Amino acid sequence: MTTLGDMAMYDIAEAKKRLPELIDRGLKGEHVVITRDGKPVVELKPLRKPPRRVTAEDLDWLAARRIPRLSRTQDAGTLVSRMRDKEER
C-alpha cells in the first residue's frame, strides 16, 4: 500500500488478497485506489442509491401544481417575457 494525500493505493495483487476489506473501507468513504504498473486505474466507492419509485401521492402533488397548458398561439419565449414584465411592475 502507498498513500497519496488522503488516498490509499493498492497494486492489483494486494487488492486481490484484500478485496473484501478494501470494499468495506470504500463503503465507509475512504479513498481506495487500485493501481496497475504504479498508475491509478480504479477507485472503490459506494454507488449512489437508486431513485425511489414514484407514488400516487407524488403524482397528485404534481397535478395540483401543474401549470395550465400554453395556448397554441403563445410560445415559451412570449410566456417568459410576459412573466418578466409582470415582475418589473
Q: What is the pLDDT of residue 84?
A: 86
pLDDT tens string 62-88: 888 887 766 676 777 887 888 888 777
What is the CA angle 4-6-11, rounded to 5?
Answer: 50
Q: List, in order of start, the domains of the chain with CATH numbers.
A: 2-44 (3.40.1620.10), 56-88 (no CATH)
pTM for the model = 0.52
Cell of 9: 493505493
Helix (H) or strand (E) holding 16: helix 12-27
